[in-house]
Structure 1
Amino acid sequence: MSINPDRNYGQLLTAAVARRSRAVQNIVYNSTPLTAILMDQNRIRTKRAGGPELRIPVQFDKLTAQWFTGYDKIEITPKELLNSAVFPWSRVVSPFSLNGTEMLFTGGEEEIIDLMEFYLNTAEQGVKEEFETSLVGDGTAAGGRQMIGLGGAIPVLPNTGIYGGIDRASVANWRTSTFNIVSGDVAGYTTWDSTTVRPIIDRIALARSRNGRYAKLLIADALAYEPIASSFVAHQRIVSERSERLGRLGFSGLTYITPAGPVDIVAAGGIGNVMPANTVFGIDEEGLSIWEFPNQSFVPFHPGNGLRPINQDAIAQGIVWSGQLVLENPLFSYRIRTTS
């Protein structure tokens, strides 16, 4: 038996996959506060030239200014200011297949569309869930093929490991920060509860800020979020441009004024949640981007109707994404561990 030769069938499959792939990008990126904010701030970027790896220029040092008068000698010391962080491209696909019998017994345009919609809905959900899982992963899953998420970008131990091909142990400017509350990393506090969370956040926000730059988004798991919510009374839940942005993007959260400036605090939870327990990520949105490989942003995996195996009466198709999450400036981002 051969695959359904109906040309209308093939045209509908091609059109359905192409149409759905355009929508999947928005569906995936709008599914979490982090990716929705990155998309809103144009931090979803496409690399103009693909290549076998993603190279991102990184500033490791700065030039210093000097006071002088008269014939004072001005010191000019050569400094390497820029280098490249190098990341592998991570690729994820949500595949499906249709065999000739399924297609043969699906007659009429409406039934064809229903069948396509079912498979495309499933592919969409699969790639969305896998992408969300990878956002907080460390890139070691699937034999190291997974996207390097916040687990690798903002690790528990910031002075160890390789990130972007750069050794954090030897390059201090390439490290984020970790604050273990129980260990006393924030002076004067060893517990995370409704009486301590706000002064702890105040201390950390100010300590990890410079010239108006700081982590403006805090993502907390359910256990870490509960004391934060309990610490606010009604009149402290302010409405600001940032909190209105969260609402516009479809999320609820708290906006809190720290000594460094306002921060959005959102909870990560729900069915299938993979956020580390007792953890808060402080994220500098300006230093974080999602880079996409050219023409690989949730597009059909195979061209046209799909791939037909030479020894099977079937068609294979799917939705694929290729890219990487990159923390381009680690200085202002941090992780809070609320228990030991």
Structure 2
Amino acid sequence: MAIVDDRHYRQLLTAAVAKRSKKIQDIVYNATPLTRILRDGGRIQVKRAGGPELRVPIEFDKLQAQWFTGYDKIEITPKELLNSAVFNWSRVVSMFSLTGTELLYTRGEEEVIDLMSFYVRAAEKSVKEEFEVALVGDGTGSGGRQMVGFGGAIPIVANTGVYGGIDRGDVANWRTSSFNATTDFTDIGTVWDATTARPIIERISLNRSRNGQYADLLIADGLSYQAVSASFVAHQRLATERSARLGYAGLAYHTPAGLVEIVAAGGVGNVIPANTIFGIDTQSMSIYEFPGQSFVPFHPGDGMRPINQDAVAQGIVWSGQMVLENPLFSYRLRTVA
């Protein structure tokens, strides 16, 4: 029984992939607090394809108001308020193949479905892990094909480099902030610990806020999180309404800017930089998906069959980009020198 002669098995593969792909989006987006929050807030959006680039209109300047009296001259100098941030679409795929021989010795329809489900689950796991790596990456991975994550959106040096085609050196409102806990808050302390963690977070939250907008989600590596956790007493360890509803664990600070949630990134395969906290304004971050490319089968129909091999190939693909549309309120905090 060669696969080239048995369309039935290829159709089983198609059904297995299509059925599983509907669940993969939930699995991936439920994997991190950030993606849960973005989905809950409607910040995962399908962007109509307008060519090979993703263009996001952004407001990077503001009009000036002035006080005047009598014959004072009113300032009417033209000012460009809107521009487009331009990103490449990033694509990730996990492929697998099955030979006719493998299917030949898998007898019975149920055994075939089990075999295919195993490969689909493996593809699902691979896509999920690559997506999580990209969330904290700078977009340079895989020769610049990787999604632009925190490393590119919230860099260590905030006033240099190009993000979305806009030079941060030229546009102040297109910059995030960068702090070092050991050198930038000497009146509070020069060591990141249970005593200094809370006042440092409070100061940054207040200073990097305006009109109720601020970094409301802090993602910390395990080392940085320990000091935050140690600064709480038992009765302060309360879940926020958002974390309880979306089902992730974290701590919450009431800062002068508003409620801030702190979650730890760790575990096997953790990729967040050591001694680092990312402060993210979740109102300003979105994940844009290319139409029809949200964790779907890579090949249409019953998969791709090479003309000179008794095999069939299929995979799971996602195409999109993560965009920090208003960088002004997000920041990176280094907790060691």
TM-score (norm 1): 0.96
1:160–1:187 distance in 2 versus 1, CA, 3 Å: farther
Work out whether 1:215 is the aligned partner of 2:212.
Answer: no
Residue 275 of structure 2 corresponds to: 278
Work out whether 1:338 is the aligned partner of 2:324.
Answer: no
Contact 2:289 2:319 in 1 (8 A): yes
1:88–1:298 distance in 2 versus 1, CA, 3 Å: same
Residue 245 of structure 2 corresponds to: 248
Matches within 5 A, 1:255-270: 255-270=252-267
**Distance in 2 between the 1:187 and 1:203 partners?**
12
Contact 1:182 1:191 in 2 (8 A): yes
Residue 14 of structure 2 corresponds to: 14
Work out whether 1:161 is the aligned partner of 2:161.
Answer: yes
Report deviation, 1:4: 5.3
- Aligned-partner SS, 1:326: strand
Residue 298 of structure 2 corresponds to: 301
- Aligned-partner SS, 2:327: coil
128-137 vs 108-117, which moves further: 108-117
Report deviation, 1:65: 2.0
Residue 73 of structure 1 corresponds to: 73
Equivalent pairs, count = 337
- Aligned-partner SS, 2:58: strand
276-285 vs 57-66, which moves further: 57-66
TM-score (norm 2): 0.97
**Distance in 2 between the 1:16 and 1:186 partners?**
58
Residue deviations 1:256-301 (CA, integer Å, cap 9, x gap): 1000000111000000000100000000001101111111110100
Residue 292 of structure 1 corresponds to: 289
Contact 2:2 2:104 in 1 (8 A): no
**Distance in 2 between the 1:186 and 1:99 partners?**
64
Contact 2:4 2:310 in 1 (8 A): no
Contact 1:238 1:256 in 2 (8 A): no
Residue 151 of structure 2 corresponds to: 151
Contact 1:268 1:275 in 2 (8 A): yes
Contact 1:215 1:282 in 2 (8 A): yes
**Distance in 2 between the 1:230 and 1:36 partners?**
26
Residue 123 of structure 2 corresponds to: 123
Report deviation, 1:69: 4.1
Residue 170 of structure 1 corresponds to: 170
- Aligned-partner SS, 1:139: coil
Report deviation, 1:236: 2.1
Matches within 5 A, 1:24-63: 24-63=24-63
* Structure 1 unmatched runs, 5+: none
Residue 316 of structure 1 corresponds to: 313
Residue deviations 1:99-150 (CA, integer Å, cap 9, x gap): 1101122222211110111000000000000000110001111111111100
Residue 113 of structure 1 corresponds to: 113
**Distance in 2 between the 1:334 and 1:213 partners?**
13
**Distance in 1 between the 2:220 and 2:165 partners?**
28
Report deviation, 1:5: 3.2
Residue 326 of structure 2 corresponds to: 329
Report deviation, 1:2: 3.5
* Structure 2 unmatched runs, 5+: none
**Distance in 1 between the 2:308 and 2:12 partners?**
24
55-64 vs 128-137, which moves further: 55-64
> Given residue 109 of structure 1, which amino acid in structure 2 is its aligned partner?
E
RMSD over aligned Cα atoms: 1.4
Report deviation, 1:80: 0.3
Contact 1:186 1:203 in 2 (8 A): no
**Distance in 2 between the 1:325 and 1:63 partners?**
28
**Distance in 2 between the 1:197 and 1:280 partners?**
11
